[in-house]
Amino acid sequence: MTGFNFQLLTPNFPLKKHFSYHFILNIVKSYQHLKRQNLVVFFFAAFLAFSCNRFNRSYNEIPALPPADADFSAQHLKVLNTLIEDDDENDELYWQRSILFEKLGKSKDALEDIKKAIELNDEKYHYYKTLAQAYLSNNKYDSAIIAAEFSRNSGNDSYQLNLILGEAYLNKGDIKKSLEEIEKALQIDPNNYYSYYLRGMAYKSLNDTVSYKESFLNALTLNPEDLEVHKEVLNFYIESGDDKSARELLNKMFSKFTPDVDMLNLKAEYFEKHYRIDSAYYYYSKIVGADSSLYEVSLKLGNIKLNERKYSTALGHFKDVLKVKNDNFEAQYKLGFVYEYLWNYSQAIAEFEKAAQMDTLNQKIQADIARIKSKIYRRQEAERTRLEEERQRMILLPALPNISPELPK
């Protein structure tokens, strides 16, 4: 799971964002200046204003909005785009669109918009929390920390900032600071599942299995609908050898969620660990069928077939790896063995030599090449011996009488 989960802002409504009554009224007022006669935009803006008016909140607070879906988000974005075209100096419009872009997974657009908002007005310190989140989603962890600390030092402290800092420090590998921020978030809101999720990830990196398990089970209890939490709990069961719990959770996940690549991979690894190789191969194949660029999975398929001595099938899988990543040493090296086992010695040497170019310090490859050359030499010697024996046998055969058939008179 990457980036900040926006559902932690609102347990009840995923779209509970930084909309303010003040802002939505501005949408409706701004519509008076629009040159377009777009009733859809107008009624949508009025609907947002009505929704926010139900929550008597101040300008910097976060009123709830109705639950989101794709159509709602598309219409919301259309409104903001229209208003920004009409008033491209309105910093709050860029701020709002940045939040929407973040929700839609468009992290680069989100970062660009919040930077524009701050460029237009750098005195609204709650903007810097949005900036910190945008940096985090773009994997710019140092910048995320600086923006979050600035926002907090400006009096805009919140558990969301603690979680942004906790996740940024976690991704930087500073587990101590990460846990400090996550614990602060839990003190403010002990029922936020994402805090437990991040804490579980931190303890996982420390190999603290007791705290790791406790944190993810808490996250799962608080949010049984989150797929990522299910995956981490399943990982724990698999790694700890709790086969019964792993099997039960796997079955539950496949009945509850639409399988994604991670789920298929977890199930394949589970079967592989329990020596149900045919089932593991089946699920690994489904992954590659969904996304052929996942060369690591093709490598697993190749290794399975290599171990089963099904060399022609293994050959295809290793070639698939090299189509995606032509510098993959393992696939290149094992191609040499596959051709050797298929008795194609000249091609085996060619593949081993390519592998040797990838790892010039690997002396084992030279030993493999020497072994193949020795096999070729022995084969050639055996063929020469066979031909010589055949020649000698022909010499020792008694001469056949020269019998010419009588010609008819």
Q: Which amino acid is at 342?
A: L
Q: Are 75 and 22 spatial neighbours (Cβ–Cβ below 8 Å)?
A: no
pLDDT bin (cut points 50, 70, 90) of residue 69 is low
DSSP-assigned letter for residue 6: G
Does 15 have pLDDT greater than 70?
no
Is the model more confident about 369 or about 30? Answer: 369
> Span 304-316, mean pLDDT?
93
Q: Which two tokens stand for residue 126?
A: 């709650």
pLDDT digits (tens, 9 = 90+) for 92-134: 999 999 999 998 889 999 999 999 999 999 888 889 999 999 9
Distance CA 61, CA 192 (A): 19
- How many CA within 13 A on the CB side of residue 201? 22
Q: Which two tokens stand for residue 215?
A: 């944190």
Domains of the chain: 1-157 (1.25.40.10)
pLDDT bin (cut points 50, 70, 90) of residue 65 is very low
> What single string gives the DSSP state of each residue in 289-349?
HH-TT-HHHHHHHHHHHHHTT-HHHHHHHHHHHHHH-TT-HHHHHHHHHHHHHTT-HHHHH
Q: Which two tokens stand for residue 77?
A: 């974005």
pLDDT bin (cut points 50, 70, 90) of residue 290 is confident
Distance CA 394, CA 174 (A): 82
Q: Which amino acid is at 402?
A: N
Residues 6+ apart with CB under 8 A from 30: 83, 86, 87, 90
Helices 277-290 and 261-273 pack at an angle, to 10 degrees, of: 160
Distance CA 81, CA 111 (A): 16
How many of the other CB atoms lie within 10 Å of CB of 3? Answer: 16
Give the pLDDT confidence score for residue 7 in this predicted structure.
37
Place of tokens 């063995």: 337
Q: Are 129 and 156 spatial neighbours (Cβ–Cβ below 8 Å)?
A: yes
Give the pLDDT confidence score for residue 97 in this predicted structure.
92
Share of the chain above pLDDT 70, in %: 79
> Span 330-353, mean pLDDT?
92
Does 407 have pLDDT greater than 70?
no
C-alpha distance across the termini of the chain, in Å: 102
User: What three-state secondary structure class fits 380?
Assistant: helix
Q: What is the mean pLDDT of the chain?
A: 80
- The rounded Cα 380 to chain-centroid distance in angstroms is 51
Q: Which amino acid is at 291?
A: D
Distance CA 370, CA 345 (A): 11
> pTM (2 decimals)?
0.60
Q: Which two tokens stand for residue 262?
A: 């991670």
Q: Where are the alpha helices (DSSP H) in 206-310?
A: 209-222, 227-240, 243-256, 261-273, 277-290, 295-307
Altogether, the residues listed in the chain come to a count of 409
Does 51 have pLDDT greater than 90?
no
- The rounded Cα 342 to chain-centroid distance in angstroms is 36
pLDDT bin (cut points 50, 70, 90) of residue 328 is very high
How many of the other CB atoms lie within 10 Å of CB of 382? Answer: 10
Distance CA 296, CA 237 (A): 23
Helices 193-205 and 159-172 pack at an angle, to 10 degrees, of: 20
DSSP-assigned letter for residue 8: G
Residues 6+ apart with CB under 8 A from 88: none
Lowest mean pLDDT among 41-45, 174-178, 183-187, 245-249: 41-45
Distance CA 27, CA 18 (A): 14
Does 54 have pLDDT greater than 60?
no
Q: Are 199 and 212 spatial neighbours (Cβ–Cβ below 8 Å)?
A: no
